[in-house]
Amino acid sequence: MNPIEESTVMVTEEASYWAHGLTPERRTAIRELHRIRPGWNLVALVFAGLWALAGWAVLHYPVWQVRAPGIIVIGACVHAMAILMHEGIHGNLFRKPRLDRWVGFVLGAPALFSSTAYRVTHQLHHRFNRSSRDPDEFSNLSRNRTVLSVAFYAWLFIGMAIYIVHVPLTALRMGSRSQKRDVLLEELLLALLYGAIAALTVHFRLLQSLLWVWVYPMLVAAFLGSVRGWAEHMMTVPGNPLTQTRTVTSNRVVSFFMCNLNYHLEHHLFPAVPWYNLPHVHRLLLEDYRAAGSFIYRSYLKFCWDAVRGGVHREAPQRRTD
């Protein structure tokens, strides 16, 4: 859903009532944080460069001391580029729909995502967050507690593989006629792209190279996406915009490779704030988070530990506030 403008800040429907209580000073500050600075988009070239450098290293130094960290770096870069695609579907790259779409298409291609398919599904998620109409709401999977528990733990390992299929199918089922047409076009372009890569790989006998610089790193990217997806809404309390989404502040390295999407509560409150400004929103709203009992963690490891111990049916995991 496109954010709506409420006097001085752009806010989702789920947070509109709460946003009326913001002080004028904070509304003004958050309004300023909506400003786009396209130069930050150059971080995509940093991720591409790191991918190329790590790819060169794993191919030229075939020892595990190089290949293991190299695969992790490439996987983190593929995951980061997909997050930048996510920024594009919110218009946070350029505020130009066509440019945001096609730059997002390029950024999402390594992670097997169509930007339009993701936009359709993700807008529904924002509009109906943690409700029965949210296509990403985990509890909608089944009413059976055992099935949900098994799926909850399985998600950590196969979640993104399922999500890659879920996104286009949901978009084709729930999108408008023009959106469905755009999804089919992008899926066709992706199929042609992957087919060309496969043909070149066979022709030049580069299968081993492709495995090391893309396929194996994709497993890392999928695992990172599954952990991030686990932490964003699982084991939160629906019905309140400040308690149904989680932020994991983590550290600067994690925030860099996640393009600050670990500040997910801030993103849901103000999805038109570009990724590089989300930590500033976090600092502005700490007082509100403490009052509401928001779910703020300082570490993904700590969240995963709580998740493994608590399971999907735990309503009140241990909370962390800065």
**Structure tokens of 240?**
């309140």
115: Cα separation from own chain's centroid: 12
Report which of 25, 10, 8, 4 is spatially closest to residue 273, judged by C-alpha positions. 10
Task: For residue 11, give the 3-state DSSP assignment.
Answer: strand
Domain contains 196: yes
According to the model, what pLDDT value does residue 61 have? 97
Instruction: Out of 171-175, 213-217, 295-299, 310-314, pick the least confident.
Output: 310-314
pTM of the full predicted structure?
Answer: 0.94
Alpha helices in 204-299 (DSSP H): 207-210, 216-233, 252-257, 264-269, 278-284, 286-292
Domain contains 161: yes
According to the model, what pLDDT value does residue 73 have? 98
Domain contains 316: no
Task: Give percent above pLDDT 70 in the chain.
Answer: 94
According to the model, what pLDDT value does residue 298 have? 93
In this structure, the strands spanning 295-297 and 9-11 are unpaired
Which class for 179: exposed (0-12), middle (13-18), buried (19 or more C-beta within 10 A)? middle
- Has residue 321 got a pLDDT over 60? no
pLDDT tens per residue, range 31-74: 999 999 999 999 999 999 999 999 999 999 999 999 999 999 99
Domain contains 315: no
277 within 8 A of 33, measured Cβ to Cβ: yes
pLDDT tens per residue, range 244-262: 999 999 999 999 999 999 9
According to the model, what pLDDT value does residue 281 have? 97
**Local confidence band at 315 (pLDDT 50, 70, 90 cut-offs):** low
**Structure tokens of 157?**
């390992």
Domain contains 320: no
Domain contains 318: no
246 within 8 A of 296, measured Cβ to Cβ: yes
According to the model, what pLDDT value does residue 113 have? 97
- Has residue 3 got a pLDDT over 50? no
Instruction: Out of 139-153, 293-307, 308-322, pick the least confident.
Output: 308-322
Domain span holding position 34: 4-310
Average pLDDT over the chain, rounded to an integer? 93
Total domains in the chain come to 1
Domain contains 36: yes
- Has residue 295 got a pLDDT over 70? yes
Please name the residues in contact with 144: beta carbons below 8 A apart, sequence gap of 6 or more.
Answer: none
According to the model, what pLDDT value does residue 6 have? 39
Residue 180: C-alpha distances to residues 168, 190, 239, 271, 284 (Å)? 9, 15, 31, 23, 39
Domain contains 127: yes
